[in-house]
Amino acid sequence: MITHRARSTRRGTPAEALRDGQSTTLAPVCGIAGKVVVEGQVEQALLDSMCEAIRHRGPDSRGTFIGEGAGLGIQRLAIIDLDTGDQPIANEDDSVVVILNGEIYNYRELRVDLERRGHRFRTRTDTEVIVHLYEEEGHRCVDRLRGMFAFAVWDRRRRQLLLARDRLGKKPLFYAQAPGVLWFGSEPKSLLQDPEIPREADLDAIDAFMQFGYVPDPLSSFVALRKLPPAHLMLWQDGAVDVRRYWRLVYTPKADYGTPEDAHEAVRECLLESTRLRMRSDVPLGAFLSGGVDSTAVVAAMSMQSSGTVKTFSVGFDVDRFDETVHAREVAELFGTDHSEFRLEAKAVEVLPTLVWQYGEPFADESAIPSLYLAEAARRHVTVALNGDGGDESFAGYDHYFAGLVASRLGWIPEPAARAVEAASRAVGGEPPRFSAARRARWLSRATTLSADELGTFMASRFDERERAALYTDDFRSELDRIAPLSGPRVIPRALESSDAPTPLERFLDADVQTYLPSDLLVKMDIATMTHSLEVRSPLLDHEFVELAAKLPASLKRRGRRSKVALKDALRPWVPDAILDRRKMGFSVPLAAWFRNDLRELPKEVLLDRCSIDRGLFREQAVSALITDHLEGRADNSRRIWALLQLELWFRSYIDGPKPEPPVLSAR
């Protein structure tokens, strides 16, 4: 039985709704949940509870299906086909039912082909192409989808569930298993509505979080939950689970474009197409604009293909080192956008409970703060925003790529000499300020002592192995030793080993595409925007655009300190050199200053509280030293302190109490 609520209250199958002249179902394009069982039925009350936990992802309507041992639910944010696009959606005879979180950008082209094959459509929505494509091609339907998605297809005849996640990992999908039962959902808090799922922290995942600042897939911070990795699908039938990878980014063989100019033209054409596809919407649409190369590329492509004025949004700070609004303003004026900018101050105490609660797992990327505020501000004007995520990973935009290459080439330095240099740099005392020359020198001296795998892990680490060993209590270390081998430390080496990239630079890029991009950057943006019911689309993460970039020679990505070579050169006919060649700033926040001023009491009050110390994970003296050294200016430990805060407040929100609830912080 399919039900839909908010704009419609009548219950019945899609066929009945169609015969009565009504829309099919009321559900979300932005949050899905469900449960399937070998025996018995899924309770409507549980399904409603799972949907209610993610209402923020899709406030427009709720739709559910219950039957034959399956329960599917969705909270919909209406973007396309506002009147008849409600979910779940079924095929012509109601034997296949689908729920979708995300967007299928090539749905119009797929629909034309499916109609030629005799399929009848009831709606204009992108979701409906999935059920008909599944009828034609089964689980291989994912191969033809171009978009961001996490979806579930219930085959009623086979009693088989298909779960699938998009190639780059734009949309999340968690699941839990028990004998004869499978749960799934867009966020952990949805699955945790079922009391059958225990709320126990996964120490392997906690160790990985301490290392990277995020929990990499397929791990989850909960023992009972796992993440379906990007580019994977899952088939569940009669309690048996089969997880398969359906796509992998490849870097060889390299494409032959003849000349660099031909390559630049290919980049421009693919950028325009991927942006055009993401401008399909029946609701107001805009763009995030930082003033950097990637967001500038997207705004340029939008402006060239928009019939009206593009709306753009940026966020700034009162600390010049972190403020890019003047650059965003310059790009906005260049393309004549309707531009809005917002200022952010040290209000982390206000946003921390929301941040911890919404992310559902410990998450230490501090740029989640401005992302939350930017999404909230943009949502007052638009329902969909495009952004520039993905450019750094495709075109080698991060400075650590250059540093990593330098370190790998300096590997000929005898290890004793390299370690002596590192020891001398540490003798100066403390952790140098972020972005400082002293910080880079210390980083490089340590990096030259490492193997390729160790270097990749070191570049991605917030707390490296030695720092974690000094921080962990004996009891915590013993527990980690008991569950060895740990998955976290192997995340980067596995990504490097699986890559077919022919150069060290491209192997680093591929490792980030497999780890940092889906587990940090895309999680950050998905949760920040869905918290405010805003959908964000990323043209530079179109899988065809990413594939094009991967096949370019490494020399067209980075040459020494010059990054994003092909992308910048492709944009030069549209954008002045002064904008393209400006030094990269990155999207960060002035945590160091905040923790020494407005928020100086917060770390001590939370991290040295008896609740935190008695948890038994970290040495009290080590935590106290981190805080004191930062407050007294001997070190910049701001990002490490932030990670510890995120972890402790996650424990209080999701593990400590009788039921998950947002943390409460004292007002200041």
* Distance (Å, whole) CA 301 – CA 90: 36
Alpha helices (H) along 77-144: 107-116, 128-137
Please give the helix or strand (H or E) that residue 4 lies within, else none.
Answer: strand 2-5
For residues 378 and 665, give the distance between their C-alpha atoms in angstroms, rounded to a whole number. Answer: 27
Catalytic residue among 30, 51, 141, 270: 30
Pairing of strands 384-386, 535-537: parallel
Structure tokens at 394: 């495709």
**Do 574 and 282 contact (CB within 8 A), yes or no?**
no
- Find the radius of gyration of the CA atoms of the chain: 25
| DSSP label of 493 | H
Q: Tokens in use for 207?
A: 């160790």
26 vs 75: CA distance, rounded Å: 8
Nearest-angstrom CA–CA distance, 528 and 535: 10
Task: Read off the DSSP letter of residue 517.
Answer: I
Residue 16 to residue 79: CA distance in whole angstroms: 25
User: What are the two backbone dihedrals, phi and then psi, of residue 24, each rounded to the nearest 5 degrees?
Assistant: -75, -60
DSSP state, 398?
S
Side chain identity at residue 316, one-letter code: G
Strand partners, 89: 98
Strand 181-185 and strand 225-227: the pairing is: unpaired
Residue type for 657, please?
G
> What letter would DSSP give residue 47?
H
Strands (DSSP E) along 285-419, which ranges? 285-288, 311-317, 338-344, 384-386
What DSSP designation does 554 have?
G
Report the first-to-last Cα separation within the chain, whole angstroms: 51
Q: Is 141 a catalytic residue?
A: no
Q: Which two tokens stand for residue 237?
A: 């039938």
CA 466 to chain centre: 28
Cis check for the bond before 518: say yes or no (omega within 30 of 0).
no
State how far the Cα of 210 lies from the Cα of 345, in Å rounded to an integer.
27
Closest CA to 642 of 570, 588, 572: 588
Under 8 Å between Cβ of 204 and 219:
yes
Alpha-carbon torsion, ordered 558, 563, 568, 569, to 10 deg:
-40
Do 351 and 531 touch, CB atoms closer than 8 A? Answer: no
Query: DSSP class of residue 210?
Result: H
Annotate 592-606 with b (16+ C-beta within 10 A) or e (fewer): bbbbbeebeebbeeb
Q: Using DSSP bridges, classify how beta strands 240-245 and 232-237 pair: parallel, antiparallel or unpaired.
A: antiparallel
Dihedral pair phi/psi, residue 70, rounded to 5° = -130, 145
* Residue 343 neighbours by CB under 8 Å, 6+ apart: 315, 316, 317, 318
What's the farthest any 2 CA atoms get from each other in the chain? 80
The residues carrying an active-site annotation are 30
